[in-house]
Chains A and B, each alone.
Chain A
Amino acid sequence: MSSEALVVCHECDLLLREVPLEAGGVARCTRCGCNLYRHQPEGLERSLVFALTALVLFVIANSFPIVSMNSRGLTSSTTLLGAVSVLLRDDMPSVALLVFVTTFLMPALEIGALIYLLLPLKLGRVPPAVPRVFRLLHAVQPWSMVEVFMLGLLVTISKLAAMASVVPGIALWSFVLLMFAVSAAVAGFDVRIFWARVGALR
């Protein structure tokens, strides 16, 4: 049923024949110009390294306060999950849910799924339920918004800086690094090479 040498553009449905790319090349659709695939032979390795880095950063980012503020003898600080629980207490369950899902649950699933798929593959084994985890990864990605949260934190801090002294915590720096690690892990995960490797090991 499969015809490996053909590529169908996912945006305009043009049928194209696959071409080999030079190092660092990108194949674009001739009709609508969207990116079809890239040449990144080391992509999966890079993706795994950054996913493992992201895991460590994710744990740190969620274990320590993101910022502390100090105003006329009053201090307060919060972690990400702390913020979610305050929203729940304040009768804002929908906002709490939205924040929890997009900044905690989805990034966690994304990092977990990448490691689950790539680590055994690196060791020469195919993990069980690859199709299901792969679909999960694909479904989770649009909702994982660490980089947007990061910008939100910057706005929050500068708003607070107007009325109090703000001390950034370890978690804030971890979030900055986490943002880059997650983006790099996602960018390196080459779907075509991934399935080719899975196919070769089976």
Chain B
Amino acid sequence: MNAASALVTGASAGVLACHTCGLTQRAAPEAHGLACGRCGSSLHFRKPDSISRAWALLIAAYVLIVPANLLPVMQTGSLFGSEKDTILSGVIYLWTSGSQPLAIILFIASIAIPAAKLLSLTFLLVSVQRRSLWAPRERTRLYRVVEAVGRWSMIDVYVAAMLTALVQFGSLMSIRAGSGAIAFGAVVVLTIFAAESFDPRLIWDLAEPAEPAEPESNLENVND
């Protein structure tokens, strides 16, 4: 494929692609309330209110990540007393009890990914708002990774749920999911929504602005 010689974007040419089915179609530049002619999804050149929506969800996630890490995700009650496990203490317990590989998986999924996701989205939002021109390709790749890895944070919620279901021996020993699990689940859901609201095309709109163009006139960027 050749690099684009004349930069024409969908928006500058009045062509947009449906987010859901990918059909490319013509639209007036400032058109609102359009629906895809093929699958009926709503169409827009850029995701509506992308930045403010992403910020709102992101800030909510920042607030909830505090209780998610401080409150217990699991409470183990037994004859010998009760024990409360936060995400971090669960990871440490696994590490010291000899399951280092699992401890690493849980650390990455439950601590590293949520933190990296929040920071990456913050960085993307700030860089777009500051009209940064820096490394658009890398920032787009960062967005792709953020979007793909977020779901893996759910592991801890599933572990808490399955342990709760299995270890139910009354006063001998029982495990309950703790309130930290609620906050943690909410962080995962909020960050998935936040990543979905962010529009990576905003990165490119500033970095390499396209000239308004007629769709058929200067379509030089054939990918062959």
List residues 1-25 of chain B with CB under 8 A from any CB of chain A: 1-4, 7-13, 15-17, 19-25
Distance (Å) between the CB of B5 and the closest chain A CB?
A: 10
Contact B161–A87 (Cβ < 8 Å):
yes
Contacts of A78-105 to chain B: CB distance below 8 A: 78, 82-84, 86-87, 90, 92, 94-96, 98-99, 102-103
Does A160 make an interface contact (CB < 8 A)?
yes
Interchain CB contact under 8 A, A156 and B159: yes
Nearest chain B CB to A90 CB, angstrom units: 6
User: Using an 8 Å CB-CB cutoff, how does the interface string of A136-169 with B read, 1 for contact, 0 for none?
Assistant: 0010001101001101110110111010000000
A7 contacts B17, CB within 8 Å? yes
- Residue A23 at the chain B interface, CB threshold 8 Å: no
Distance of B101 from chain A, by nearest CB (Å): 9
A157 CB → nearest B CB, Å? 9
Which A residues, 10 to 54, have Cβ-Cβ distances below 8 Å to chain B?
10-17, 19, 27-34, 37
Task: Identify 9 new A-B residue pairs, CB closer than 8 A, beyond the known A95-B157, A155-B106, A160-B166.
Answer: A6-B15, A15-B219, A37-B22, A83-B164, A90-B176, A92-B181, A95-B185, A152-B157, A153-B158
Question: B: which residues have CB within 8 A of A?
Answer: 1-4, 7-13, 15-17, 19-26, 37-41, 45, 94, 97, 99, 102, 105-106, 109, 136-137, 140-141, 143-144, 151-152, 154-169, 172-173, 176-177, 181-182, 185-186, 189, 192, 196, 200-201, 203-205, 208, 215, 219, 221-224
Can you report 14 residue pairs joining A to B where beta carbons are below 8 Å apart? A3-B24, A6-B24, A10-B19, A11-B200, A14-B7, A14-B9, A17-B222, A69-B167, A86-B165, A98-B189, A134-B20, A135-B40, A142-B192, A191-B21
